[in-house]
Amino acid sequence: MSARNLFFGKDLLSQISEFYHELKRMAVESKTPIEEEAEKEERAVLQEGCSNVSAAGDSGGITIDLFWFLKPCSYLYCLFYGICVAQLHAQLLITGSLSHSPPTTCLLKCLTEVSSTPHYYFLGFFSRILDPSTFQWNTIIWAYSSCHFPQESLNLLDLGRANGACYIDRQEKVVSWTTIIRGLVKSRFVDDARKLFNEMPVRKVVSWTSLIADHAKDGRASEAIRVFKEMMFENVEPDTIAMVAVLSACVQLQDLKLGKCLHQIVIDKRIGVNNNLAVALINMYVKGGSIKSARHIFDSMNNKITPAWNAIIDGYCKIDNIDITRSLFEKMNAPDIISFNSMITRYIHGGRLKEAL
């Protein structure tokens, strides 16, 4: 791409304006509960002055919400996204928007989301920001920890603390620590993440939940359960997201007794059971072999989402009750590939090949 096209490419920016709304919808549908919670904090930081930033020049004054551009585009690990980010960088340069904090923050986040961006490039960009905000420090720290540079991310955390970016009212700001811990776990430096977690001066439920969820994703279900028990011992009240995280670990262990204890915690502490938690409980009971309990939770749901249908269908498939399975499948409004695969597999295992076809 020529320099002129990079700076004045109307067609590409027009495409961005047209497709980012669809990407926004896709991103919203694919977010996990923990990602939803993390996004709330990002949105709060970026909201003021960030929405409807105009990428003007010869582009025709195309206006986009940079926050919603960078969030869904993080799902596009392709050259096209890298070109879009480069052009956004150029457009913000020629319009002078980089002198404002929100566009700078958005672009920094974009740069760190592009897998092909050399780490020294976004570090160089970051080093030119005067008085970086806490969110900007978090972004660069996360980028380094996600790029398998654990020592560098730890050094940046220390530097941020030295510059006062991680302090609020003499207390350590939890988000910086949680950011680097999640990055370390994502890079499979789980032991380093746990060591850093133990050093945290303030450990709120979001930090505990992040560690529990990341241990579960890494296949360390027993460790995730142990962390949850520590959290309870320290009198940190679990929320809905924390219960979803620990139940995912329980599902891996297929420990019905433990699962019932976790369900009792939900009841005793009157934790709100949203769709995500209901699905987690159904999965736990299905994997533990208690289809009756799973069905009770399923029937109590006011809005039965597709993952809930799939979970209960999977449960009846496991006990070879193909008639109930078929009945549930036919009641679904929008069966997906998981629903069809469950039915086809059960028909094949039951020797009913014609119905499978």
The pLDDT tens digits for 105-133 are 777 766 666 655 666 677 777 777 777 77
Q: What is the pLDDT of residues 9-56, one digit of tens each?
A: 445 445 554 554 554 555 455 555 555 555 554 444 444 334 433 333
Domain spans, the chain: 1-117, 131-202, 213-303, 304-357
Q: Which residues contact 189 (CB under 8 A, 6 or more apart)?
A: 145, 150
Higher confidence at residue 130 or residue 295?
295
- The amino acid occupying position 260 is K
- Average pLDDT estimate for 215-235: 92
Nearest by Cα to 77 from 105, 121, 116, 109: 116
pLDDT tens digits, 167-219: 443 344 555 677 777 777 777 777 778 888 888 877 888 889 988 988 898 88
The pLDDT value given to residue 6? 41
Cα(185)–Cα(200) distance, integer angstroms:
16
Query: According to the model, what pLDDT value does residue 112 have?
Result: 65
Q: CB neighbours (10 Å) of residue 146?
A: 20
Q: Kindly report the CA angle at 179 between 232 and 229, in degrees rounded to 5? A: 15
72: how many CB neighbours lie within 10 A of its CB? 19
331-345 mean pLDDT: 83
53 forms beta bridges with 64
**So what's the pLDDT on residue 269?**
94
**Please, which pLDDT band fits residue 252 given cuts at 50, 70 and 90?**
very high
The contacts of residue 69 (CB under 8 Å, 6+ apart) are 16, 20, 88, 106, 110
Q: Residue 265, Cβ neighbours under 10 Å: how many?
A: 16
AA identity, residue 207: S
Residue-wise pLDDT tens digits, 76-108: 444 455 566 666 666 666 666 555 566 677 777
Average pLDDT over residues 269-277: 94
Q: Does the predicted TM-score (pTM) go above 0.75?
A: no
